[in-house]
Copies of this chain bind each other. A is one copy, B any other.
Amino acid sequence: MTSQPAAPERQRDAERTKAEILEVARQEFARHGYAGARVDEIAARMRTTKRMIYYYFGSKEQLYIAVLEKAYAEVRETERVIEVEHLAPVAAIRALAELTFDHHDLHQDFIKLVAIENIHQAEHIRKSQALANLGTPVLDLISRILDAGMASGDFVTEADAIDVHMLISSFCFFRVANQHTFGALFGRDMTAPEHRARLRAMVGDMVVAYLRGADI
């Protein structure tokens, strides 16, 4: 409305609106799945209208993909921060395991989105340019730790970086992703605070024990 910085303000508003839509959409998709999420519900939970969702994202599917892209981008941003280079191999792999644990603990919506995306056989990820080859950095990191550990004699088990990544991820992911069925069947909420420290140590112990391997 003022004479000068109108366009930039508008842009900033537009960005804010888009960000708000993405935030609400992430929650809605995470809670109800792709098909179960309601465009109406997303709109109802915002101060903008449903029309804006289509204006900015074009369709429910494209909105969902944008949510996925943002979630993965945040994960990789976190992983980039990890500095395990200066640590000894055993300490390094344990640090990676614990950081992964912490990250999964902190980003439960992301975990749910990944689970949802697997139900849809990753069809949306494959449609997204932004999500191709997003995995390589962490694999490089693991490779370097494994090489150092084998060289130093700390690790004995011959292991592949992708396998080790899966070993770590599976534990951290399952604890969050399957908390509800696990809780219903075994009567224990693995994400409750009283189990946190023990399970965090466990994933580190597990991967170190596996790599040390010895005479199993």
CA distance A33 to B206 in the complex (A): 33
A205 touches B157 (CB 8 A): yes
CA distance A185 to B165 in the complex (A): 12
B115 touches A185 (CB 8 A): no
Interface check A70, CB cutoff 8 A: no
Interface check A167, CB cutoff 8 A: yes
Task: Tell me which of B120, B157, B209 contacts A216 (CB under 8 A).
Answer: B209
A118 touches B167 (CB 8 A): no
B206 touches A167 (CB 8 A): yes
CA distance A157 to B33 in the complex (A): 39
Q: List chain B residues, Cβ under 8 A from A34.
A: 33, 36
Q: List chain B residues, Cβ under 8 A from A147.
A: none
CA distance A183 to B114 in the complex (A): 12
A7-15, A44-52, A78-86, A174-182 - the one binding chain B:
A174-182
Interface residues on A, range: 35 or more
- Mask of A96-133 contacts with B, CB within 8 angstroms, 1/0: 00000000000000001011111111100110000101
Interface check A88, CB cutoff 8 A: no
Interface check A194, CB cutoff 8 A: no
B206 touches A214 (CB 8 A): no
Nearest residue (CB) in B for A112 is: B119
Given contacts A35-B32, A118-B177, contact A210 B214 (CB under 8 A): no
Task: Tell me which of B120, B133, B181, B199 contacts A114 (CB under 8 A).
Answer: B181
CA distance A114 to B168 in the complex (A): 21
Interface check A77, CB cutoff 8 A: no
Instruction: Sample 8 A-B pairs with CB under 8 A, ordered by A number.
Output: A112-B119, A118-B179, A135-B186, A166-B174, A170-B175, A209-B214, A209-B216, A210-B210
15 further A-B contacts with Cβ under 8 Å, apart from A166-B171, A174-B174, are A32-B119, A33-B33, A33-B34, A33-B36, A33-B119, A114-B181, A115-B115, A122-B180, A122-B181, A131-B185, A165-B186, A167-B171, A205-B216, A208-B216, A209-B209
